[in-house]
């Protein structure tokens, strides 16, 4: 198969994963993703992507194993201790001090895997605020695309080895022992909300004070990283902080974030407001999904957020406010308490525009209605101009409510006035600017060429660094598996040694000579009493044929009895004349029993030899 055809079939695999399980891996780094898929294919003995698609269709349980291989969940408590210490000592104190005493603290742990990072945040904030204030004010959202990892995180149960990175005293304060496992404190666990979230497809949680996204972005290509960073930028409040992993530099996104401590990958948001932010601000968030209870409200969210252009509110058919985007809350001073209240009870219903009559007009006409250039007078004396669009929301002919979108056109008004005042000045300066422009264009081309070379070099270096970090994650995961296997082998070796010692003790305690031979008549065991009878030590006879021994025991007389026992006979007995190691003749009784395994299969015989009276 050609390289082009191979890529085509791999795209078919990506499409199959998206269609059948809802995972969109198109934004993941192609080389890393292919390497992990091929590793899983090798484990299953599958040669081609096409055959692997067939394998997934026949073995749906393979999806769990594949996603565990692709989404490497390598995490631990207080991973990179120095970075967490810096966050606790230098970043969180001023962030908490800037908030009022009862103001909520919102945190999002992205790519939380099995939950250690989210619970690390919980322990740090409990240390800083105290358990009572922590439970009242803090809300930690922890998300991942891996449902199996989320299930582990929700149980909040870990082994003693998992707790080794904890600072002194933290295990006693924050974990309860249940057998050989340790569970995170239930009263603090309730503050952490776990949910599935795809950074590429799903809208972000909003109004965050701290966003932790460590060693997650490195799995995505440059285009997907850019989209995700824009979403994470919107998710933070203007004073918010983002905490990244060692492999994520953010050097090419300085317009979104500025470093607080580059070595620990801690950045502050660069505040801005643009159409993209307005879009994200109104988009459905993970928090909405987690807290939504009414299916009608879910339908309204979907209809509204599919068409939202700017600040937006939604009322239902009874005139109650059911939804307000983040920017709408900010613009009109709305709070959570205003949701579900009648619109007529809110100042928004008549200022800056009388809304109820327009709502009724739009419903009666059955079409969208727009009111342009609505003046809104602000407390500082300035005037803001808004265009207000009323859009009826219907489903299958049923009247569900009304969507109202407010678009700020103040800049347009201001720009028109400034353009008129500046027109004459621009005409006068046009000739000078034209001359200067030619020189600037020449200089700009040179600078742009240099900048492109630097950006290419930087992207290559960053890509190489991320690949190395990815390989390190894979090695850590493999090392953990090998260590677990090694411990199991040690345990089995100890059990085998104990069983062997027990067997030797039994053989030593028997007062008769005991010889164990296999089906080829080779000696497997030779106890101490046998050594005393014939004068040969165990190490001298082990592995030798029983019939080649030169002792006072006439072994040839036992050949037929041993053959019969191996062939299927049960206990047989024979008495023969023998001579012990001191040269004394005596009458020796030999009892022959089959050597059986757990399935009653014969693997040899057991000979018991003792002296009897003549």
Share of the chain above pLDDT 90, in %: 25
pTM equals: 0.44
Range(s) of the chain covered by CATH 3.40.50.150: 81-277
Share of the chain above pLDDT 70, in %: 85
Cβ burial 206-236 (10 Å sphere, 16+ → b, else e): bbbbbbbbbbbbbbbbeebbeebbbbbbbbb
At 302, is the pLDDT very low, low, confident or very high (cuts 50, 70, 90)? Answer: very low
CATH node for 3-70 = 1.10.155
At 247, is the pLDDT very low, low, confident or very high (cuts 50, 70, 90)? Answer: low
Q: How far from 557 is each of 550, 562, 575, CA to CA, in Å? A: 14, 10, 10
> What is the DSSP code (8-state) at residue 201?
T
The yes-or-no verdict on residue 72 having pLDDT over 70 is: no
The yes-or-no verdict on residue 252 having pLDDT over 90 is: no
Give the residue-averaged pLDDT of 497-510: 71
CA–CA separation, 271 and 237 (whole Å): 8
pLDDT at residue 146 in the model:
81
Give the residue-averaged pLDDT of 89-104: 91
Mean of all residue pLDDT scores within the chain: 82
Q: How far from 464 is each of 247, 257, 437, 473, CA to CA, in Å? A: 10, 23, 39, 14
> Where are the strands (E) in 325-397, listed by range?
369-377, 383-395
Range(s) of the chain covered by CATH 3.30.450.20: 294-411, 509-612
Range(s) of the chain covered by CATH 1.10.155: 3-70
Is 509-612 assigned to CATH 3.30.450.20? yes
What are the backbone dihedrals phi and psi of residue 551, each rounded to the nearest 5 degrees, phi first? -135, 180
pLDDT at residue 499 in the model:
66
pLDDT at residue 445 in the model:
81
Q: Per CATH, the architecture of 294-411 is what?
A: 2-Layer Sandwich (3.30)
CATH node for 81-277 = 3.40.50.150
């Amino acid at each position: 198969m050609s390289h082009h055809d191979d890529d085509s079939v791999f795209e078919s695999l990506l499409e199959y994963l998206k269609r059948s399980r809802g995972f969109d891996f198109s934004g993941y780094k192609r080389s890393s993703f292919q390497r992990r898929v091929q590793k899983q294919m090798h484990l299953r003995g599958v040669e081609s992507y096409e055959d692997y698609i067939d394998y997934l269709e026949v073995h749906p349980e393979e999806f769990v194993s594949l996603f565990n291989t692709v989404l490497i969940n390598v995490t631990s408590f207080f991973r990179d201790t120095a970075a967490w210490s810096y966050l606790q000592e230098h970043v969180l104190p001023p962030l908490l001090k800037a908030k009022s005493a009862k103001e909520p603290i919102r945190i999002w742990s992205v790519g939380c895997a099995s939950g250690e990072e989210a619970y690390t945040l919980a322990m740090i904030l409990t240390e800083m605020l105290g358990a009572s204030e922590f439970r009242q004010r803090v809300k930690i959202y922890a998300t991942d695309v891996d449902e199996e990892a989320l299930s582990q995180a929700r149980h909040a149960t870990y082994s003693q080895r998992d707790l080794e990175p904890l600072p002194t005293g933290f295990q006693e304060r924050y974990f309860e022992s249940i057998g050989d496992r340790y569970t995170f404190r239930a009263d603090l666990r309730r503050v952490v909300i776990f949910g599935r979230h795809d950074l590429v497809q799903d809208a972000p949680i909003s109004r965050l004070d701290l966003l932790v996204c460590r060693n997650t972005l490195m799995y995505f290509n440059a285009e997907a990283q850019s989209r995700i960073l824009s979403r994470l930028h919107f998710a933070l409040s203007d004073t918010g902080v983002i905490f990244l992993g060692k492999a994520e530099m953010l050097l090419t996104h300085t317009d979104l974030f500025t470093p607080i401590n580059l070595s620990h990958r801690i950045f502050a948001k660069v505040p801005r407001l643009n159409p993209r932010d307005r879009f994200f601000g109104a988009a459905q968030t993970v928090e909405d999904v987690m807290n939504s209870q009414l299916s009608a409200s879910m339908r309204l969210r979907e209809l509204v957020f599919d068409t939202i252009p700017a600040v937006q509110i939604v009322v239902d058919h009874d005139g109650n406010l059911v939804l307000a985007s983040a920017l709408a809350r900010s613009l009109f001073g709305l709070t959570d308490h205003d949701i579900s209240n009648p619109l007529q009870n809110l100042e928004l219903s008549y200022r800056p525009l009388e809304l109820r009559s327009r709502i009724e007009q739009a419903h009666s006409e059955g079409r969208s209605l727009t009111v342009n250039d609505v003046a809104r007078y602000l407390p500082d004396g300035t005037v803001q101009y808004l265009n207000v669009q009323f859009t009826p929301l219907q489903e299958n002919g049923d009247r569900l409510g009304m969507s109202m979108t407010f678009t700020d056109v103040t800049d347009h008004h201001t720009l028109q006035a400034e353009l008129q005042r500046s027109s004459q000045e621009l005409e006068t300066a046009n000739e000078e600017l034209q001359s200067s422009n030619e020189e600037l264009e020449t200089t700009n081309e040179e600078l742009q060429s240099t900048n492109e070379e630097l950006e290419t070099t930087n992207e290559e270096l960053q890509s190489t660094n991320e690949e190395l970090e990815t390989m390190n994650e894979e090695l850590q995961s493999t090392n953990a598996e090998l260590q677990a296997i090694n411990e199991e082998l040690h345990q089995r070796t100890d059990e085998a040694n104990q069983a062997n010692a027990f067997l030797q003790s039994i053989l030593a305690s028997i007062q008769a000579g005991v010889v164990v031979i296999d089906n080829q008549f080779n000696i497997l065991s030779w106890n101490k009493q046998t050594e005393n009878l014939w004068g040969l030590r165990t190490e001298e006879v082990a592995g030798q044929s029983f019939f080649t021994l030169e002792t006072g025991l006439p072994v040839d007389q036992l050949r037929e009895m041993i053959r019969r026992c191996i062939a299927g006979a049960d206990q047989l007995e024979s008495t023969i004349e023998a001579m012990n190691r001191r040269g004394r003749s005596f009458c020796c009784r030999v009892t022959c029993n089959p050597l059986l395994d757990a399935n009653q299969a014969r693997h040899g015989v057991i000979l018991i030899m003792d002296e009897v009276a003549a």
